[in-house]
Amino acid sequence: MKLKQRVVLLAILLVIFIFTKVFLIDNLDTSAANREDQRAFHRMMTGLRIELAPKLDHTLQSPWEIAAQWVVPREVYPEETPELGAIMHAMATKKIIKADVGYKGTQLKALLILEGGQKVVFKPKRYSRDYVVEGEPYAGYDRHNAEVAAFHLDRILGFRRAPLVVGRYVNLRTEIKPVATEQLLSTFLTVGNNTCFYGKCYYCRETEPACADGDTMEGSVTLWLPDVWPLQKHRHPWGRTYREGKLARWEYDESYCDAVKKTSPYDSGPRLLDIIDTAVFDYLIGNADRHHYESFQDDEGASMLILLDNAKSIRVSTWNRLNYLKNGVLKSALKSAMAHDPISPVLSDPHLDAVEQRLLSVLATVKQCTDQFGMDSVLVEDRMPLSHL
């Protein structure tokens, strides 16, 4: 073989070797990432069921101190949470030492301070479990049980961005009224034999109070985030206009997503992928009203989008987790996670079935996108720097 032919052959072999090596490394990395996603999923499923118990045997810290220490820029609680049952037990049982009207918002809530100084937000029961709200997706009152279910869905999806929520029964006459502020107390009334209140909020009306069953009211309590983590509100880029007949830009402008991707804080960092995770989360829980979202202040887009008051690419880890949850796994996981909540059963079977159907819709939509644009264009590996979005 002539020298020139040998050089050409060696060059070809070298190119093949380099491409093979790169391909194998890429696949090894992908396989390793997928294996880690599988391990994380199995860890989540193993620790899903929470026993609400008062004991914290291994520490002298209060449950409130432990929960406060959990909060970091990218998660509200860690993956491993052996103290979670004790914290939720405290949320559901600790003595209420003060009650006030809720913070600003559109829906009825009360701000409670529990023994030890911990703030929680109480949302009262408005509907029976099997009641179906007709009309627009954002119609009707907030459902207290949806807050509980959304927290556990956040755990199941592995997001860890929703504040802790648990169901609780309170006696309005003996637990709330004696420690209520004048502002809250002035909104109490009696309807038949039931104690009711209507609070202070944008849509709160004396004609539409929340009523207990006698004096006992079912509701949810959401743990207040530590004051050292102040929140900043942002307009959601895919929010609706709230004007009848007026479309938002994303509803008619095909170039809108490209414009969003060039705008801070979506042009770098994880915020855009957080938005998409949240779109999946909101669709699963039936929330069509996230017109704003919160993050920690002065984070320059680095902290998570916080799932309070519960797109174009999707994280590989989110896609993997959604696929692990199909074929009835999501419904089973939710039932297991919520089995020991004080207001269990939290969701009726028709609501659980609806979540399952929405999951299938999400998977089908992403599959349609990957078929049209390719996996590499749709699925983003979130274990790498995200400045390329």
Cβ-based neighbours of 81, under 8 Å, separated by 6 or more:
47, 70
Q: Is 386 annotated as a binding residue?
A: no
Residue 46 is assigned to a ligand binding site: no
The three-state (H, E, C) secondary structure of the chain, written as one string: CCHHHHHHHHHHHHHHHHHHHHHHHHHHHHHHHHHHHHHHHHHHHHCCCCCCCCCCCCCCCCHHHHHHHHCECCECCCCCCCCHHHHHHHHHHCCEEEEEECCCCCCCCEEEEECCCEEEEEEECCCCCCCCCCCCCCCCCCCHHHHHHHHHHHHHHCCCCCCCEEEEEEEHHHHHHHHECHHHHCCEEEECCEEEECCCCCCCCCCCCEECECCEEEEEEEECCCCCCCEEEEECCCCCCCCCCCCCHHHCCCCHHHHHCCCCCCCCCCHHHHHHHHHHHHHHHCCCCCCEEEEECCCCCCCCCECCCCCCCEEHHHHHHHHHCCCCHHHHHHHHHCCCCCCCCCCCHHHHHHHHHHHHHHHHHHHHHHHHHCHHHHEECCCCCCCCC
Structure tokens at 388: 């390329």
Is 341 annotated to bind ligand? no
Q: Does 184 belong to an annotated binding site?
A: no
Catalytic residue among 154, 289, 341, 382: 289
371 assigned to a ligand binding site: no
- Of 330, 329, 346, 326, the closest CA to residue 338 belongs to 346
In angstroms, what CA-CA distances link 264 with 80, 242, 270, 300, 324? 33, 24, 11, 9, 33
Q: Is the bond into 265 cis (omega within 30 degrees of 0)?
A: yes
Determine if residue 309 is labeled as part of a ligand binding site: yes
Tell me whether residue 229 is annotated as binding: no
Does the annotation flag 142 for ligand binding?
A: yes
Asked whether residue 238 is marked as a ligand-binding residue, the answer is no
User: Is 213 a known active-site residue?
Assistant: no
Which residues are known to be catalytic? 289
Q: Where is the binding site for ATP, in residues?
A: 107, 123, 222-225, 294, 309
Annotated binding site: 107, 123, 142, 222-225, 294, 309
Binding site membership for Mn(2+): which residues?
A: 142, 309
